[in-house]
Structure 1
């Protein structure tokens, strides 16, 4: 089982982003992922000879990209070329091929656009349910410092899940940032001590952060929790610029209604400034369990669980061990592994339950073995 099975990398044959290729190489090698490269040619009415020459150039350029990846022992599929709208085609291929991650170049804002993020990258972030990693042009490819802003929403919960996975995988320091926005009013009718009230609200914010993080396993992750005061998007950008963050991980809104086009005001304001390379997650995680429903072998699920356990995905590992017990309710190794995981998660009741269950089964098996040996002994005396 691979946690990150397939990466889709849209490229521009007229402006190949070397940082994007290096990022694909780094991530694919770390996760043993396969890379699919796509280029979308805009619709045009070209003369047949010109079209033939252009397609030859496109194919040669894509082959060079594939070759550069394969030289680094990265598995690649046959390059994909499409005609039409870039974003629609990229998303269609991403869905058809069930990719885990779209790895895009940041591009550039057009004309007088004050934003630094390119339009294709921004639309991919807005519309994709699949996580999107946008590589900032000119930024050195390293993942030593990961930052994940938290606002206690479901999108930030998903973002933190993925930030933890990436931090563990690349042995990076994870900065978990909470921005407390103080309450202010200029109305003379409202009379109270604003400073005192904000101190109280900030303490509530800190308590909520502690409660929020209790749902995650940060064991083995070098992490720091920081709570700052101010306007969220401004403080996030300021922290990135001052702290040398390599990778930002943020959640975007879900797929329903208008929210599909609005990624969330804070996320939108931050990523449009392109402070660093970033990952956005919406309804799916970077990792996905790709299991055939007909696969029933305990060994498969047990191996999957061990890999998930090592990656710090404890709840997902528990699900796999439980499948083992559904197949064979006397699978003692799964019971001991479950007990170990529940110990890590601080759930003593479940830990004791599975330890006792395993001990009981081993005791019964031992009794049966003794009984069998006694019966065989007396049978041999007859």
Structure 2
């Protein structure tokens, strides 16, 4: 079972790249992913000797990265050496190899910089339809708390769906944030009218938030929701600081449709100043479930079902457990697994049925053992 099959690791071999490679390895271990390292060289070097030396140096460094990945027991694909504009070459390569995500660094910034995001990384986010995972300089990938801001748009639905799965895999806390923008117009006849308008706006916002969340499976997840009032970008950055967020996951197309180079205005403001690592999603999921349909091993089917259940893919888990029963209709762990899944889906009748089936089979096996022991004692 694959959730995140292929990671395109974009390196520039700067000092911060060492942390980037470590993060790629950790991510690949958690999601059983394959890593494809890539480095981009300029294509306008005229001096042949200089060009050859750069090529040789880059390939050596890519091979060092590949060796480091292999030494960690992580699956690896052939490193790529591309030429041209870095962001264009990386975005193009992600499509060519059908990567699930582009993993890149935030770029090296000086202390006190207002804008902490490198130009190349910002352009990758703007241009790429693939999800982009940005690792903050000097910060190891240790995800204990994820923040997912939503504005009830399709892009934020995608972001939250992926955030839920990642929170389960990282075993981290998840905060879902929906900022309510208040009306500040001077055209109200009185301050009281403006306050009443904002109270109503906030009430409707909370109702819409609850309705939005009803479409997601949040069972057995350590999560909270926040509904602050104010400027979305400021409130998101404030929440990151207050809650010590390790990973921000958000969609890149805003609710209002105000896009700049296909990146929402709120997202643009946040990712430029965010102090933690972040993942942006546009039109593709970073999590894409791929099941092996040819599995005949009952134990592997069962373990896949358990992992699917833990990740929140309940219907797919049911399919795996039922596949176990098609091989052996007395496989008790599969019946127990089905009972647990239906409990999570709040379908108690189905859960009781499969739990009863498991008990009947266990009782039958027990009585058969007793009968065999009795026969042995009688010498028959």
TM-score relative to the length of structure 1 = 0.79
What are the within-5 Å matches in structure 2 for residues 203-352 of structure 1? 203-253=203-253, 261-291=261-291, 295=294, 304-317=304-317, 320=319, 340-347=340-347, 352=350
Could you report, residue by residue, the CA deviation over 1:218-248 in whole angstroms, capped at 9, with x for unpaired residues?
2222112111111111111111122211110
Q: 1:342-380 deviations in whole A, cap 9, x for unaligned?
A: 4313356xx649949x97xx99xx9xxxxxxxxxxxxxx
1:17 is aligned to 2:38: no
Displacement of 1:44 in angstroms is: 1.7
Secondary structure in structure 1 of the residue aligned to 2:233: helix
Question: 2:153 aligned with 1:153, yes or no?
Answer: yes
Checking the alignment, whether the CA contact within 8 Å between 1:301 and 1:323 is kept in structure 2 is no
1:335–1:354 contact (8 Å) kept in structure 2: no
Deviation at 1:160, TM superposition (A): 1.1
Displacement of 1:199 after TM fit?
Answer: 2.0
Q: 1:86 offset after TM fit, Å?
A: 1.9
Q: Which residue does the alignment assign to 1:370? A: none
Please list the CA deviations of residues 170-202 of structure 1 after superposition, one character each: whole Å capped at 9, or x if unmatched. Answer: 221111112111123211558862223322321
What's the secondary structure of 2:228's corresponding residue? strand
Q: Are the structure 2 counterparts of residues 287 and 354 from structure 1 closer, same or farther at C-alpha, using a change threshold of 3 Å? A: farther
Once the two structures are TM-superposed, the CA of residue 3 in structure 1 deviates from its matched residue by 1.4
Aligned to 1:377: none
1:52-97 CA deviation, whole Å, 9 max, x = no partner?
Answer: 2211211121122222223322222221101122223222222222
Cα root mean square deviation, aligned = 3.5
Q: Which residue of 2 aligns with 1:70?
A: 70
- 1: CA distance, partners of 2:23 / 2:264: 26
Q: Which residue of 1 aligns with 2:51?
A: 51
SS at match of 2:227: strand
CA contact (8 A) 1:336 1:354 kept: no
For residues 185 and 40 of structure 1, what CA distance do their matches in structure 2 show?
49
Q: Are residues 167 and 191 of structure 1, via their aligned partners in 2, closer, same or farther at CA, if it must alter by over 3 Å?
A: closer
1:149 and 1:156 in contact (8 A); partners too: yes
1:199 corresponds in structure 2 to 199
Q: What is the count of residue pairs matched by the alignment?
A: 353
- The Cα of 1:47 is off from its aligned counterpart by 2.4
How many angstroms apart in 2 are the aligned matches of 1:106 and 1:252? 17
2:82 aligned partner: 82
Paired with 1:332 and 1:97, the residues of 2 have a C-alpha distance of 43
Change over 3 Å in CA distance of 1:150–1:258 after alignment to 2: closer
Q: Unpaired segments of 5 or more residues in structure 2?
A: 365-380
